[in-house]
Amino acid sequence: MIGRGDIEALVPHKHAMCLWDEVLAWDAQRIHLRASNHRDPAHPLRSDGGLRALHLCEYGAQAMAVHGGLLAQAGGGVARPGMLVALRDVHLHVVRIDDLPQAIECEAQLLAAGEASQQYAFSISHGDTPLARGRATVMLGP
């Protein structure tokens, strides 16, 4: 298992903006992560007394960043910075997530990887309950 400190070393997101607590499993094509911070009243994405399900897209994007960091590290390097440029086929199954009692989990799958971009599919759940799914594209910097 890969913990929060190791995750923060892989991605540009630090402290409360690093949304994932642990990597449960990963390989060259997939990653499975878990977080419990969605219940935190001081969550940096929280507003108007709650955390909206729309923010699960950021959780999905950060799952991509963690996977990219792990792949780069496994190859002896460091991941190139990326910018989220597109979300497609996003389905949100709840309105908010701050009231969910247990951890949330994400599974992300690398769909395409090129020199300048990557595309992933992600799904986020709470136990057996689906919360969100979609596809995201990241453009990679120099």
**Mind listing the pLDDT tens digit for each residue in 30-66?**
999 999 999 999 999 999 989 999 999 999 999 999 9
pTM score, whole prediction: 0.95
Task: State how many domains the chain has.
Answer: 1
pLDDT digits (tens, 9 = 90+) for 14-28: 999 999 999 999 999
Q: 80: domain range?
A: 4-140
Report the distance separating Cα 104 and Cα 32, nearest Å.
11
Place of tokens 């400190």: 5
Give the DSSP letter of residue 73. Answer: H
pLDDT digits (tens, 9 = 90+) for 78-116: 889 899 999 999 999 999 999 999 999 999 999 999 999
CATH value at residue 85:
3.10.129.10
Asked if residue 24 lies in contact with residue 34, where contact means CB atoms within 8 angstroms, the answer is yes
